[in-house]
Amino acid sequence: MKRMLAMLMVPACLSVQAQKKITVYTTASQTDLRLSQNAQLSFKEFKQPLETQPCVFIDPANTFQSFIGIGAALTDASAETFAKLPKPEQQEFLRAYFDKDKGIGYTLARTTIHSCDFSSGSYTYVSDNDTALKSFSVAHDEQYRIPFIKQAIQAAGGKLTTYVSPWSPPAWMKDNNSLLQGGKLRPEARQQWANYFVKFIKTYEAKGIPIWGLSVQNEPMAKQRWESCIFSAEEERDFIKQYLGPTLQKAGMSSKKLIAWDHNRDLLYQRASVILNDKEAAKYVWGIGFHWYETWTGGPMQFDNLRLVNQAFPGKNLIFTEGCKEKFHIDSVNNWSLGEKYGYSMINDFNNGTVAWTDWNILLDETGGPNHVGNFCFAPVHADTKTGKLIYTNAYYYIGHFSKFIRPGARRIGASSSRAQLQTTAFANTDGSIVVVVMNTTDQKLPYHLWLKGNGAATESLPHSISTIVIK
C-alpha cells in the first residue's frame, strides 16, 4: 500500500519524461567521435533553473515551419567525378549520403539546367537561334549526370525531392551574346526561355527524374566569368508573372515549386518585397531561395533578413539553395572550421524559418573541381581520382547531424539556449521523436541541462563539437 501511495505521489510530468529514451550522437574536434553515439541520458525533476545553471530549453508545445529535407547539388562536376571512382567507392558514396541508417539520409537535390561553372565546359540543349526549340536535347547529360541522379534516387529509396536552376539562358537569347559575364535576357526571348524550362522538366521527367521545383535564375545579381545572367527585382517579377508562371501553368506544371531570388541573404528582403508584394507575381511563387556568400564583404551571415522575410510573408517558404567553402586547397580538407560554418548556418537558417537546406556540390575531385573557369571549391566529400579513395571532411558529419535525424515532415519546435556559446535548434519528427542539435564553437567543455517540461537531463558539450540529441 505504501509503495502504491509513493508511486501516486510522483509528479505526472516526471513519470512520463523519466520513461523517455535520450540518445546523444556527437562529432568533436581532437577526438575520434564522428556522428558517434556517445551517451544515454535520463530526465530528472528540475523545475526552475538558476541563472548559474546553463540550459537548453525544449518546448514541443510551440511549433513552427514544416521541414522538407536536406541535400546537395548533383552537378556535372559531381557526376564526372563519381564516374571516375571504382565501383566499391561509388557504392560507398551513395550509401554515405543517401542511406538514412548507414549514411546521413539526404532527401533533397538540386541540379542545373545545362552548364554552370562546375561543368567541364559550357553547353546548352539547343542549336543557336532555334526559337522553336526543335533541336532540344539533353544528350550531353546522358553520359554522366542523368545516370548519377538516377543512382542517387535509387539509393535514397526511390524518392529524391529534386529542383532545377539555370545559370544562364543560351547566348543567343541574351543581350551580350554570351553564356558568361552576366548580360540580360532579351525581351523578345522571354517566352522562348520560359518554354525552355518546360522542355527541360518534361525531358528529365520522361527519363525517370521527377522534378519538384525550379528557381528562376541562379544568382541574378552576379556578373560572373562563368555562366550568369542579370535580373533586377522588377525584371524577375515581370518574367515570373508574364512568362514563366503562366507558361508553367499552361503546361500543367502549376504544382512545381517556383523559387525566386536564389542569391545571397544581403538583398533577400528587397527582392522578396518587390516580387511578393505584387499579387500577380506572388501567386506563382512558392518561396525565396538564398545563398550564404554575403560574407564576401567581411561581415557575418545576415540571418535577420531571413527573419524579416519570414515575418512579412508567412505564406511563402524560405529555402537555402547553395553554400560552400570557396578557394579549395587539398591541405585544408581537415580544417575544423569547414563543418562549423555549416552548423552555424543551418542552425540559424532553420531558426529563422527555412524549410529546406541544399549544399552546393555533393562531390568534387582532389582539385576542388572539375570547373571550367578554375573556380575550385570545397565539398563535404572529395574523391582522390588518382587513388580512387573518398575523403570525408568534417562538413559531411556536421550536415549529417541534421539530415540523418530530422526527417521530411518534421516540425520545428521551440529551442532556446541560456548560453550564447551553445547554439541550438530542435524539431519534432512525425514518429513522435524529438531531435535537438547543440553546437559549441568554443575551446571549452560546457556542461548544461537539456530541459523539457520541468525535467532536466545533465550532459556536456565538448570543445568544437556538434551533438544531436534524440528523445523518444
Cβ neighbours for 326, distance < 8 A, ≥ 6 positions apart: 293, 375, 377, 378
For β-strands 364-365 and 381-384, DSSP reports them as: parallel
User: Average pLDDT in the 324-341 region?
Assistant: 98
pLDDT of 12: 47
Cell numbers found for residue 152: 542517387
Cell numbers found for residue 312: 512579412
| Residues 248, 130 share a domain | yes
Phi and psi angles of residue 37, each rounded to the nearest 5 degrees, phi first = -70, 120
Burial class (CB in 10 A: 0-12, 13-18, 19+), 34: middle
| Residues 263, 219 share a domain | yes
Q: How would residue 5 be classed by pLDDT, with cut points 50, 70 and 90? A: very low
- Report whether 305 contacts 291 (CB < 8 A): no
- Render pLDDT for 6-35 as a digit per residue (tens, 0 to 9): 433 444 444 466 689 999 999 999 999 999
Look at residue 12 and tell me if it is in a domain. Answer: no
Sheet of 36-41, strands arranged across: 36-41, 22-28, 465-471, 434-440, 422-428, 411-417, 55-66, 446-452, 455-461, 44-45
Measured CA to CA, the distance from residue 244 to residue 443 in angstroms comes to 50
H-assigned helices in 189-328: 190-206, 233-239, 245-250, 268-276, 279-282, 303-312
Among candidate residues 248, 251, 231, the one with its CA nearest the CA of residue 286: 248
| Residues 422, 345 share a domain | no
Look at residue 430 and tell me if it is in a domain. Answer: yes
Q: Dihedral of the CA atoms 58, 63, 69, 73 (nearest 10)? A: -90
Chosen domain end from 408, 428, 455: 408
Chosen domain end from 392, 408, 424: 408
Q: How would residue 41 be classed by pLDDT, with cut points 50, 70 and 90? A: very high
What's 85-123 look like in SS3? CCHHHHHHHHHHHHCCCCCCCCCEEEEEECCCCCCCCCC
pLDDT of 19: 82
Chosen domain end from 365, 385, 408: 408
| Residues 166, 254 share a domain | yes
Q: How would residue 2 be classed by pLDDT, with cut points 50, 70 and 90? A: very low
Q: How would residue 290 be classed by pLDDT, with cut points 50, 70 and 90? A: very high
| Residues 51, 163 share a domain | no
Beta bridge partners of 457: 450
Distances (CA, A) of 335 to 113, 325, 380, 392, 393: 33, 11, 12, 11, 8
- Report whether 46 contacts 452 (CB < 8 A): no
**Cell 519534432 sits at which residue?**
428
Which of 8-12, 17-21, 269-273, 354-358 bottoms out in mean pLDDT, i.e. has the lowest?
8-12
What is the average pLDDT value for the chain, to the nearest integer? 96
pTM, rounded to two decimals: 0.96
Look at residue 358 and tell me if it is in a domain. Answer: yes
Q: Dihedral of the CA atoms 290, 413, 336, 380 (nearest 10)? A: -50
> What residues are labeled active site?
219, 322
- Render pLDDT for 167-204 as a digit per residue (tens, 0 to 9): 999 999 999 999 999 999 999 999 999 999 999 999 99
Number of domains in the chain: 2
Look at residue 6 and tell me if it is in a domain. Answer: no
Beta bridge partners of 59: 414
Measured CA to CA, the distance from residue 160 to residue 208 in angstroms comes to 11
Residue count of the chain, please give it. 472
Count Cβ atoms below 10 Å from residue 30 Cβ, excluding itself. Answer: 10
Cβ neighbours for 342, distance < 8 A, ≥ 6 positions apart: 323, 359, 380, 395, 398, 399
| Residues 380, 243 share a domain | yes
Tell me: pLDDT of 346 over 50.
yes
| Rounded to 5°, angle at Cα 377 from 373 and 383 | 105
User: Average pLDDT in the 255-270 region?
Assistant: 98
| Residues 233, 139 share a domain | yes
Among candidate residues 149, 38, 144, 156, the one with its CA nearest the CA of residue 96: 156
For β-strands 69-73 and 354-361, DSSP reports them as: parallel
Share of the chain above pLDDT 90, in %: 96
Measured CA to CA, the distance from residue 288 to residue 261 in angstroms comes to 6
In this structure, what CATH number is given to the domain that contains residue 40?
2.60.40.1180
Look at residue 8 and tell me if it is in a domain. Answer: no
- Please give the DSSP secondary-structure letter assigned to residue 75: -
- Render pLDDT for 52-66 as a digit per residue (tens, 0 to 9): 999 999 999 999 999
| Residues 137, 35 share a domain | no
In this structure, what CATH number is given to the domain that contains residue 83?
3.20.20.80
- Report whether 13 contacts 423 (CB < 8 A): no
Expressed as residue numbers, the domain containing 450 is: 21-65+413-471
pLDDT of 427: 99
pLDDT of 6: 40
